Structure 1
Amino acid sequence: MSQIWRWGAGRATLPLLYPLAMAIMLWLLNRARRSFWLCALLALPGTLCHEACHWLVGKLLNGDPARFTVLPRREGHGFVLGSVALRNLRWYNAFFVGMAPLLLVPLAALLLLWRLRSQPVFGWAELGFVFLAANLLFAALPSWADVRIAARSPVGWVLLGGALAWGWMRVASPGTHAAGPGPSRLSVAPRLPPHATSKP
């Protein structure tokens, strides 16, 4: 069976099989939210990476991380899977610290590309990689607490405004794109309809 996936027609199916396995794994992780302990256990790799992103970006941007935990706890009607306490959240670093888990998206993509390029045999080991990639994507979404922290920083609003302005300029001016390769035309005289005459 493993030889079929490595050498046969199944190898062409792997690029389709991975997204399907990822979708199933993400669905299972989402369903696990109904159980406190099951969710905490299944999402532990992603929780660890999520909080590590907050901690590392806080450390790099002078956020002064003070406490790091991935011990789940109940809070109100929900539960918290992990947290990082920072002592120096300021206008210049709050946005980046809050949005830090988004760094897990390219990490998950790189993991999947690496596995697909290595011509894997789809088995238990590959399911483990799919589980890890799904965990990274599942944990990449900033929590509401993360969004509230990021929203306190004017840097985020400036970046968002700049991105929207750039996008609007790209959409609103479609004729300003550079022309592709081809013969250049030096003539600038307008073409006249057959029934029109040109007067000097």
Structure 2
Amino acid sequence: MSGFNLLHLVSKGQPVNLRACSLPSGARRTKKTWPVTFSKEELKERLTPMQYHVTQERGTESAFTGELTFNKDSGTYSCVVCGTPLFSSKTKFDSGSGWPSFYDLLKKDSIDLTDDFTYGMHRVETTCSQCGAHLGHVFDDGPRPTRKRYCINSASLAFNPETAPDLNQNSESSNTAPEIKSEAQPEPSTPGETKTPAGEEKKEL
């Protein structure tokens, strides 16, 4: 059985122990200097244990347990470590694998791809191009138009909901009538009298 077919069965059967969206414990990849770096102490302090395990130790969350797996809200998915925008909700789809799946990236250079030959098959690991956080893997069995399936751990993502404009604020400003300031009208003069420029009364002769 080919690696692709085996992977397809793994995704549909949802076994947790094979870690379809992660590297096995102790696996290594080519070292690289990332544009954004954080200390282990800082990351352990602000990330949950699962987020740290997935992004820094190339771990995985169990299938169908991720908080964002079935999220259908509109917005953007970014790297939980450095905040780099990665995916749009418009390209998210239900792959049945148990992990959040997307068929395209927000930007082509937002993710780095690395060959992964673990488990006796060839896969392509996805990492954040800015901080090197492990995200998951990408496969060639996705929907049109890209045919790609980015299988991403929910723990490696942060969801930023799409904010709607404040319609109430706009309506208040549009419904408020503008204040019209009227100029003071001159007092009517008594017949036979006029006002001098200085405001002094002067009788007509």
- Give the TM-score, by structure 2 length: 0.28
Higher relative contact order (CA 8 A, sep 6+): 1
Q: Which structure would you say has the larger Rg?
A: 2
- The answer to which structure has the higher strand fraction is 2
- Give the TM-score, by structure 1 length: 0.29
